[in-house]
Amino acid sequence: MNKLIIRITILLVFIIQNLKGQQIFTKNIMLMGSDFEITIVDNDQANAENMINIAIEEISRIEKLISSWDKNSQTSLINLNAGVKPVKIDLELFELISRSVKVSNLSQGAFDISYASMDKVWYFDRKMTEFPSIEKIKKSVSKIGYKNIVLNKEDTTVFLKLKGMKIGFGAIGKGYAADRAKDILIKNNVKSGIINASGDLTAWGLKPSGKDWMVAIVNPINKDKVFSWLTIKNKSIVTSGNYEKFINLDGKKYSHIIDPRTGYPTEGILSVTIITDKAELADALATSVFVLGVDIGLNMINQLNGVDCIIIDDNNKIIKSRNIEINDV
């Protein structure tokens, strides 16, 4: 499912310090069609640059694996053979698809990687004056359905039952890439850092000062204003929002985020922030909550261990999950 990543909903507080030789090194780079910011703590610039390049290579590898634009990728091969035959793929991609289907089950289809099959009937880049017809909306989602993704674990094959059906990783891919970059840096003995994939963020270790990383959550109505701070330690945080792309029809505001089950835009939420261990999961759950809405979405999050959530509704009201603690400004 396509998911708008807020241009800047998360501000990282980087206080460049030099304590016991440790410094913060950061590189900004365009990867996977998005802005990535890779930050590590090290006492040697040459080593830090080498480690950052290792992270970049890993993210590029993930992009090649999951891209639906690259006609030679395994993902494209799955889509090409939809309704024709199963496709054998690497175990890594198979497991990513398997986890995606599990989130689909958890969210009752609010998150669905077969969202890539959807026909475009809503236009958020130009003014719409009327709703698409019921027939067009219904047809637009006719090939969406995670239950039509057939997985064979023994053979590591994937089969999409319907011709024209497609999968895509727009609502989970950058989170997964951030996780993988972090994992490979930890294996290379990088003790502390942050991978920020356009708002899909994962952090580990401590700042050079010995303190935890701090993340500022920005007011979605006024992005220059911070409404709360979060202390994060070995956690991931993902924020998704709709307030930059929307349409107004019949006096109501509709999000660019479409419910894959109905084909209709979501409404009622400005932004969702998910905090959990893995950016991949946070990415998928942020989309899920948007589609499910405040009450059902929050109820789902409150039943999950190790997952927290901050929702800002379209009245700019802050709603928090049961166990989260934030520091108000």
> Domain boundaries in the chain?
10-57+191-328
| pLDDT of res. 39 | 97
Beta bridge partners of 218: 226
Beta bridge partners of 312: 271, 318
Entry pTM = 0.88
The CATH superfamily of 10-57+191-328 is ApbE-like domains (3.10.520.10)
Residue 327 class from Cβ within 10 Å (0-12 exposed, 13-18 middle, 19+ buried)? exposed
d(CA 131, CA 309): 32
Element (H, E) at 228: strand 226-232
**Among residues 77, 126, 98, 103, which one has the least CA distance to residue 260?**
103
| pLDDT of res. 1 | 43
Q: Are 261 and 145 in contact (CB under 8 A)?
A: no
| pLDDT of res. 227 | 72
- Please list, in sequence order, all residues whose beta carbon lies within 8 angstroms of the beta carbon of residue 203, skipping any fewer than 6 positions away: 193, 194, 195, 213, 215, 232, 233, 234, 235, 236, 237
Residue 141 class from Cβ within 10 Å (0-12 exposed, 13-18 middle, 19+ buried)? buried
| pLDDT of res. 84 | 98
**Among residues 307, 11, 109, which one has the least CA distance to residue 321?**
307
Q: Are 286 and 198 in contact (CB under 8 A)?
A: no
d(CA 275, CA 231): 11
Q: What is the pLDDT along the chain (329 residues), one digit of tens a residue?
A: 444 333 333 344 443 444 457 899 999 999 998 999 999 999 999 999 999 999 999 999 999 999 988 889 999 999 999 999 999 999 999 999 999 999 999 999 999 999 998 877 877 766 777 788 889 889 889 999 999 999 999 999 999 999 999 999 988 999 999 999 999 999 999 999 999 998 899 999 999 999 999 888 777 766 677 777 888 889 999 988 765 566 777 767 677 788 999 998 888 898 899 999 999 999 999 999 999 999 999 999 999 999 999 999 988 898 999 888 766 55
Other beta carbons within 10 angstroms of residue 100's beta carbon come to 22
For residue 154, CA distances in Å to 88, 94, 95, 188, 320 come to 10, 11, 12, 32, 41
- The DSSP call for residue 260 is T
Backbone angles phi, psi at 135, to 5 degrees: -65, -45
Beta bridge partners of 320: 310
d(CA 317, CA 326): 15
